[in-house]
Amino acid sequence: MAVEAINKELSSSQKEFESLLNDDFKDRTLKENEIIKATVTEITKNFIVVDCKAKMEGMIPVEEFKNDDELAKLKVGSKIEVYLERIESFKGEIIISREKARRMNAWKRMEKVFETGEEITAYITGRVKGGFIATCDGLPTFMPASQIDVRPLKKFDHLMNVPLKVMATRIDKVRGNVCTSRRAVLEKNKDIDAKEALKNLNEGDIIENAKVKATTDWGIFLDINGIDALLHVSDLSHGRVKKPSDLVTIGQTMKVKITKIDPETNRVSASVKALTEDPFSNLEKKYKIGSEYTGTVTKLMDYGAFVRLEDGIEGLIHSSELSWTNKNVQPAKVLSASQEVKVKIVSVDSEAKRISLSFRETQPNPWKEVEDQVGQIVEVTINNITDKAIFADLPNGLTGMLHFRELSYKEEDQDLKKYKKGQKIKVKIIELKDDKLRFSIRALEKDPFDWFKENSKKEGSIITTRVHEVLKTGVKVSVDPDKNIIVMIKKNQLAKEAADARPEIFVPGNALDAMITELDTDKRQVVLSVKAAQVYEEKSLVAKFGANAAKSGATLAGIFQKALGKTPKKKKTEEEE
């Protein structure tokens, strides 16, 4: 009886406890994938234990509280927000996350600050390709390397894991990506300060103590009373400046003039050359075209050399104006930096601030010396031999060309093999045109074509030639007895009748009458035709005997035979046979 009473009492107590627990759970509205309030009940070395009003307490790893100072401020009884992933796992545990709750809240806040342009605190926790990871309230965002500061930084360790003010510049809700910028905050604050400082700055003001902050190849950045100003390389001097760093050092103060202020962008432009008069203003009066002046070589380029005529004024000697003998000479082979030279003014352009100079015009012109030598015999030195010509130097340094056709009247390129580099030869200067010389060796000998003048031969003359060589396309014949003039008679010009115009019926050494149809002794060109000679002879015979032949009924063959002194054969009669 006692045992039954005890069991009945326990059963009654369990039912009462179960009823109270069910009543308590009715007041708890927990939903998964939402942020809920939790109370810290215990802080251990590895976990933070919280009461979420669930069946059991939740445990959150301490690492989720180490991104900021929250862990140091945390104590038993503290209220925190957590993200409820699962009310009950397969182990019966509640799954919660402080980090995910922080990220959800951070995303909502990020959307708000993106719309309003507000600033938010971030911690740079790592570096990735192209930039950094900036964590804002537990939400990792991407900060491009160009957005960490207003100017490129070589070292950024001092910015790691410290609170920084940033702005959200782009949000991708689909991918859950956020881009932030510290530079935008710095520029925003800087613009506010700059607008206040610009109120005391005007165009035309002369600043005595502008401080050099940085130098580049294209200009200098200055600090003018807290305002950044640009001094472009073109505003450093009226002359040419190679590198701004050659003129100034970081931290140096210099005197400048404010030339432009842009109130929209807060950009300020300064100038040093605006403090002095432009030396190019009266350039035409100072430097006369055609006059010679002394200058100093300041810079050598592939295309020419720059020469300083006076402080702030430089001119260019183009490479084509350096040497009479070589238009494409490298400037460094003629001049050297800091060398003092005489130059002649070629052209002056005050608006473009350009002066063209010539160095070769101050030197003796070897081409004028050669003008009087055209037609004369000179000795030259071979400096190069190509497949078609020889190039040789005159004693004054000028180079001329000796084409293989000018080696001999045979005009054979094989003659080039008779010569070698460095050999001295005698030639005749036959032409000087556009600063180009032409030499000739065969001009030292008598021209075989003079045979035509000496023998009074001209176009229309019929001459007797000798077969020199028989080819498939025609016959080569020698015109003069010494065989210096070899002419090709084409196949279609070998005979009047096509059947007789066969090269194979001719034999070297045979005499062959041909007419000169074209003759140009200056160009050394001649064209011969056997066919034209035959036609001419036929017309001559017809003209001489044709009238009587027509009356007697004589044939053309009979006329030729009579003209040649031959008696035509009589036909045999049947009785004689």
Pairing outcome for strands 79-86 and 34-43: antiparallel
Per the model's pLDDT, the better-predicted residue between 86 and 496 turns out to be 496
Helix (H, G, I), strand (E, B) or coil at 69: coil
Judge contact between 409 and 447, C-beta under 8 A.
yes
Query: Are residues 460 and 435 part of one domain?
Result: no
In a domain, 88, yes or no: yes
Contact 355, 348 (CB under 8 A): yes
Which is more confident, 296 or 266?
Answer: 296
Domain contains 353: yes
Q: Are residues 332 and 401 in the same domain?
A: no
Of 15-24, 39-48, 394-403, 481-490, the least confident: 15-24
Give, for 291, the enclosing helix (H) or strand (E). none
Report yes or no on 219 lying in a domain: yes
109 and 149 share one domain: no
Same domain for 214 and 252, yes or no, is yes
408, pLDDT greater than 70: yes
- The reported pLDDT for the residue numbered 552 is 41
- For the packed helices 530-552 and 556-563, what is the interaxial angle rounded to 10 degrees? 110
Q: Within this chain, do residues 462 and 526 fall inside the same structural domain, yes or no?
A: yes
Residue with tokens 């028989």: 470
The region of weakest confidence among 29-38, 190-199, 508-517 is 190-199
What SS3 string covers 220-288? Answer: EEEEECCEEEEEEHHHCCCCCCCCHHHCCCCCCEEEEEEEEEECCCCEEEEECHHHCCCCCCCHHHHCC
Of the pLDDT bands very low, low, confident and very high (cuts 50, 70, 90), residue 20 is: low
Range of the domain at 103: 40-116
- Residue 289 domain-assigned? yes
Question: Do residue 438 and residue 491 come from a single domain?
Answer: no
Same domain for 123 and 111: no
Spatial distance between the Cα atoms of 59 and 83, rounded to a whole number of angstroms: 12
Reported as a single tens digit per residue, the pLDDT across 56-80 is: 788 888 887 766 667 777 888 888 8
Q: Is residue 556 part of a domain?
A: no
Q: How confident is the model at residue 436 (pLDDT cuts 50, 70, 90)?
A: confident
> Do 483 and 497 sit in the same domain of this protein?
yes
Q: Mean of the pLDDT values across residues 468-490? A: 89
Q: Which residues 6+ apart lie within 8 Å of 386 measured at CB?
A: none
Contact 451, 436 (CB under 8 A): no
CATH assignment at residue 223: 2.40.50.140
Residue 157 tokens, joined: 């360790």
551 pLDDT more than 60: no
Q: Where are the alpha helices (DSSP H) in 439-507?
A: 450-454
Asked whether residue 298 is domain-assigned, the answer is yes
Domain presence at residue 299: yes
Average per-residue pLDDT for the chain: 81
Distances, alpha carbon 291 to alpha carbons 284, 341, 357, in Å:
12, 14, 10
Q: Round to whole Å and give the CA distance between 163 and 188.
A: 18
Domain closes at, from 97, 116, 135: 116
Contacts of 165 (CB under 8 A, 6+ apart): 119, 120, 121, 122, 182, 185
Report the C-alpha gap between 259 and 268 in whole angstroms: 8
CA–CA dist 439, 429 (Å, integer): 5
- Give the rounded percent of residues in the chain with a pLDDT score beyond 70: 86
Report the C-alpha dihedral over residues 372, 378, 384, 386, rounded to 10 degrees. Answer: 80
Residue 395: the pLDDT is 85
* Count of structural domains, the chain: 6
Task: Determine, yes or no, domain membership for 51.
Answer: yes
Residues 210, 163 share a domain? no
Final residue before a domain boundary, out of 410, 426, 444: 444
Domain boundary among 60, 83, 116: 116
pLDDT at 317: 92
Q: What does the pLDDT look like over 487-502, one tens digit per residue? A: 899 988 888 888 888 8
Lowest mean pLDDT among 116-130, 230-244, 326-340, 441-455: 230-244
- Quick check: pTM over 0.75? no
User: Which of 199-213, 403-417, 461-475, 550-564 has the least mean pLDDT?
Assistant: 550-564
CB atoms within 10 A of CB 324: 18
